[in-house]
Amino acid sequence: MKLVRYTIVSVMTVWFFATSCLAGDVFTLTKEEKELSKKKPVYPQTRFLAVTDTHFYSTSLGTEGKAFQDYLDNDRKLLVESEKIVETVFDELSRITADFVIVSGDLTKDGEKINHEKMSIYLRKLALSGKKVFVVPGNHDVYNWESVRFDGEATEAVANVTAMEFEKIYREFGYETALERDLGSLSYITEPVPGLWLLALDSCRWKENKPGEHPITAGAFSDDTLQWIKKSLVRSRKEDKAVIVFMHHGIVEHYPHNDKFYSDYIVSNHDEIAKMVSTFGVSLVFSGHFHSQDITLQKFKDPDRTLFDIETGSLVTAPCPYRIVNIMADQKIEIESRFLSSIPSRTSGFKEYSSDYVYKGTIKLADSALKKYWVSKEDRQLLTSQISKAYVTHLKGDEIMPDQAIIKDGLGLWGKFVMFMQEDLIYGWYTDLPPADNNLVVDLSTGEYFPK
Ligand SMILES: [Fe+2]
Ligand SMILES: [Fe+2]
């Protein structure tokens, strides 16, 4: 009996150390991997489109009644208009010449099967314009137990999707033609144009979602997926393919103190992961999740590389953007941003309406957040508009720090203290880390960038 127990303990100890070494080892390069990483890849000429966080919502799930209003009171997205927004923007995208389109997750409001199915119809229509379309999931999309329909004062659960169902619904948008799949996540590799790999990474923690709980917002890769990412990057260098990563969560901080404020919006262990992908020659990561138009960069030495995290704002949140990306033979890349200006139900004044919607929605969210910190009604009235202005400025990108980012005049002692604790976030949102966010040119061979 003692021997059996000893054997079990020994096997478990060996297994534990073996798996922990495996996790730790992923960021350590062998001599051969170091050698492979020295050669910088050449990106082939291509033009593509980036769109994200469509948060598709079918109005058949309800748009009236107290329950829906309660939901909207804690939200800032143009959910009621989302189908018309998707339809209008996808129609615009169809008319733009490009090789492919990437969608960086949060395809649906809350992972409802009906929303995924309808979204896939619009993607299929877009693909008919001759572009390949690729998707990855966002934190709202898989095993989301908040998939509901609204009926008066009540909500009623509707079918969500499992990971297998997600892959099935979006089979034509990456999974069917994948060169390789990570079996432990919804990540895959595809080659949309010869010589270019898209490393489509599922950074979401849907495996941990539980009924009755809010789906996990934060992003992380399991040890196995990290091993798969590294194996894929090594293979890309061996086969001389240039790689673009696209994923839902950010990989580089998007404003000072991003790691302290809203760290759920950048993937866990992002410094090490950014370094790893950059080492193997990845210069571009396209992300979403925070809903802002924001490009940041991280520089690395040995090898001398620059990694750009190009976050695109949500299609259903002002300024309702998408990006056109043009990679040229001389390794310069042009990034242009366009913004939705009207939908059929609002042929004029859409920009003002959508800006006002997110501004007022954020005021409501800030108000309930401050309430949790026992901030008085008078102080909340002075603070919420300031918080909302900073957030909305960050969403649009190319932020300019105002002369007075925070006005504390008239605040009570507690209000001043709470604001003191939050002011790094307000300053952070107003701080535009380089490079420019909306329109710019990057020289991929040197990492230099210029306004467009
Ligand atoms: Fe989102
Ligand atoms: Fe998200």
DSSP, res 155: E
The position carrying tokens 């009604």 is 377
Q: At residue 351, what are phi and psi to the nearest 5 degrees?
A: -60, -45
Average pLDDT over every residue of 230-235: 98
391 alpha carbon to ligand 2 midpoint, in Å? Answer: 16
166 alpha carbon to ligand 1 midpoint, in Å? Answer: 17
State the DSSP H helix or E strand holding residue 22, giving kind and residue range, or none if neither: helix 2-25
Average pLDDT over every residue of 3-24: 47
11 alpha carbon to ligand 2 midpoint, in Å? Answer: 40
188: Cβ contacts below 8 Å, ≥ 6 apart:
174, 175, 178, 179, 180, 181, 182, 200
* Cβ neighbourhood burial of 260 (10 Å; 0-12, 13-18, 19+): exposed
Average pLDDT over every residue of 344-369: 96
pLDDT > 90: percent of the chain: 92
356 alpha carbon to ligand 2 midpoint, in Å? Answer: 22
> Hey, how many other C-beta atoms are within 10 angstroms of the C-beta on 404?
9
pLDDT at 14: 45
* Cβ neighbourhood burial of 346 (10 Å; 0-12, 13-18, 19+): middle
* Averaged pLDDT score across all residues of the chain: 94
Average pLDDT over every residue of 50-75: 96
Give the 3-state secondary structure percentages of the chain, helix then strand then coil, rounded to 5: 40, 20, 40
- What Rg, from alpha-carbon coordinates, does the chain have? 23
91 alpha carbon to ligand 2 midpoint, in Å? Answer: 24
pLDDT at 140: 98
What is the dotted CATH code of the domain comprising 46-343+441-451?
3.60.21.10
277 alpha carbon to ligand 2 midpoint, in Å? Answer: 22
Average pLDDT over every residue of 358-364: 97
pLDDT at 24: 55
CA distance 284 to 89: 24
**Statement: residue 16 has pLDDT above 50:** no
pLDDT digits (tens, 9 = 90+) for 403-444: 999 999 999 999 999 999 999 999 999 999 999 999 999 999
Q: pLDDT band for position 334 (50/70/90)?
A: very high
User: Closest Cα partner for 71 from 153, 158, 142, 144?
Assistant: 153
State the DSSP H helix or E strand holding residue 321, giving kind and residue range, or none if neither: strand 321-327
Smallest-distance ligand from the CA of 55: 1
288 alpha carbon to ligand 1 midpoint, in Å? Answer: 7
327 alpha carbon to ligand 1 midpoint, in Å? Answer: 27
**Statement: residue 6 has pLDDT above 60:** no
The tokens for 114 are 């009906």
156 alpha carbon to ligand 1 midpoint, in Å? Answer: 22
pLDDT digits (tens, 9 = 90+) for 167-222: 999 999 999 999 999 999 999 999 999 999 999 999 999 999 999 999 999 999 99
Smallest-distance ligand from the CA of 107: 1
450 alpha carbon to ligand 1 midpoint, in Å? Answer: 29
54 alpha carbon to ligand 1 midpoint, in Å? Answer: 8
Smallest-distance ligand from the CA of 137: 2
User: Closest Cα partner for 278 from 202, 178, 199?
Assistant: 199
Q: 14 or 175: which carries more pLDDT confidence?
A: 175
CA distance 239 to 165: 32
53 alpha carbon to ligand 1 midpoint, in Å? Answer: 5
215 alpha carbon to ligand 2 midpoint, in Å? Answer: 10
> For the CA atoms of 274, 276, 280, 286, what is the dihedral angle to 10 degrees?
-30
pTM over 0.85: yes
> Hey, how many other C-beta atoms are within 10 angstroms of the C-beta on 81?
23
219 alpha carbon to ligand 2 midpoint, in Å? Answer: 9
User: How is 197-213 classified by DSSP, letter by letter?
Assistant: EEEEE--B-GGG--TTS
Where do the domains of the chain lie?
2-38, 46-343+441-451, 354-430
pLDDT > 70: percent of the chain: 95
Smallest-distance ligand from the CA of 76: 1
Q: pLDDT band for position 302 (50/70/90)?
A: confident
Smallest-distance ligand from the CA of 109: 1
263 alpha carbon to ligand 1 midpoint, in Å? Answer: 15
Smallest-distance ligand from the CA of 250: 2
State the DSSP H helix or E strand holding residue 444, giving kind and residue range, or none if neither: none
**Statement: residue 231 has pLDDT above 80:** yes
State the DSSP H helix or E strand holding residue 336, giving kind and residue range, or none if neither: strand 332-339
State the DSSP H helix or E strand holding residue 440, giving kind and residue range, or none if neither: strand 440-443
The tokens for 374 are 């026992």
